[in-house]
Amino acid sequence: MKRFAVRFARTTEMTLLVICVVFFVGLVIASDGDLLAANSLRVLLQFLAVPVLIGLAQMVVLAVGQLNLAVGAIGGFAAVSMGVLMAEHGVPVFVALLIGFLLATVAGLVNGLLVVLTRINGFIVTLATMTVLLGVQYRVVGTRTVDDYPQSVKSFGSHAVFGVLPLIFLVALVVAALLAVMLRRTVPGRQLLASGGNPIAARLSGISNDRSVIIAHTLSGAILGVAAILTVASSPGVNKSIGGDWLLPSFAAPIIGGALLTGGSAVVLGTVLAAFIVRFVDTARAEFSLEPSWVNFVVGAVVLGSVVLGQLRSRRQERRTVLKAPDAAVAGGVS
């Protein structure tokens, strides 16, 4: 237990946890304690659920060395589909939400299949599917806002356990926990990380890199399906702008959380903590009446800094490996 505590204290997650605590304490002081009120905490956590999920959706694709630019388009398309089905076609709530979830999952699956079948970089593939889905989203909802769906959906989005913990936030945490178990404790999850970390070694070990890419994109779509459900439940209505501001936060959370753009890393806890930090930045903007553009500026700067630091760490690790290699060779020759 002590060894684990020492190891955790040196991780990126521990650093992020400390930053979260400092941020929270600072905001509590700046708000004269108003942030500790039950309603303030509930609102803070309620608007954190979707950023956590879209960060995880991007993280699982980054784990295989891919990018998903269609995060917002998949989630927005699924969300407006659910809203229109319930409000304008009288589809039962459960069926409409299930259809929207399946649409997002299938969209993720299609992304994975296109990457594998065409051998085109995921950046280009998801850019294309993003454009297509944005057009479909506009076709489905047009310029109107759909909000006439059953009150039970909105009640689910506003319900809070003990008056503080929003149910939708707890759903996001459950998804994060299931994803962590899947990546660390199941064979497909470990194979996915192996494919992202070293595709050549994975293939020599009998692992299908193509299958890992498909699984990663499909998982990403499924997580976005859950994010779409929570969006419909927590928003006053859905329209063509849903998902339009998801792209930057989807990259910010996993990259700040320690994910490598080259793949092979699963930073579920880091992604969740980084989503907290981004949310705290937004809260600080509102508290100090700053321009909304400052949030994007700060988040973008932090993401860029995280990428640069990640590259420096990777190069330093490579140099250490090269320096150790001759010693290992000499030792082998002596024996």
With respect to residue 228, please indicate whether it lies within any of the assigned structural domains: yes
Kindly indicate the confidence band of residue 228, based on its pLDDT and cuts at 50, 70 and 90: very high
Kindly indicate the confidence band of residue 328, based on its pLDDT and cuts at 50, 70 and 90: very low
CA distance 91 to 183: 35
Domain count, the chain: 1
With respect to residue 134, please indicate whether it lies within any of the assigned structural domains: yes
pLDDT at 314: 66
With respect to residue 37, please indicate whether it lies within any of the assigned structural domains: no
Cβ–Cβ < 8 Å for 105, 222:
yes
pLDDT at 326: 53
With respect to residue 305, please indicate whether it lies within any of the assigned structural domains: yes
Kindly indicate the confidence band of residue 167, based on its pLDDT and cuts at 50, 70 and 90: very high
With respect to residue 324, please indicate whether it lies within any of the assigned structural domains: no
Q: Which whole number is the average pLDDT over 203-215?
A: 94
Give, for 67, the enclosing helix (H) or strand (E).
none
- Non-local CB neighbours of 102 within 8 Å, separated by 6+ positions: 225
Question: How many other CB atoms are found less than 10 A from the CB of residue 316?
Answer: 10
The domain that holds 112 is classified in CATH as: 1.10.3470
Q: For residue 161, what are the β-bridge partners?
A: 165
With respect to residue 79, please indicate whether it lies within any of the assigned structural domains: yes
Q: Which whole number is the average pLDDT over 132-149?
A: 92
With respect to residue 2, please indicate whether it lies within any of the assigned structural domains: no
pLDDT at 89: 92
- Non-local CB neighbours of 142 within 8 Å, separated by 6+ positions: 240
With respect to residue 175, please indicate whether it lies within any of the assigned structural domains: yes
CA distance 29 to 91: 47
- Which residues form the domain of 154? 18-27+42-319
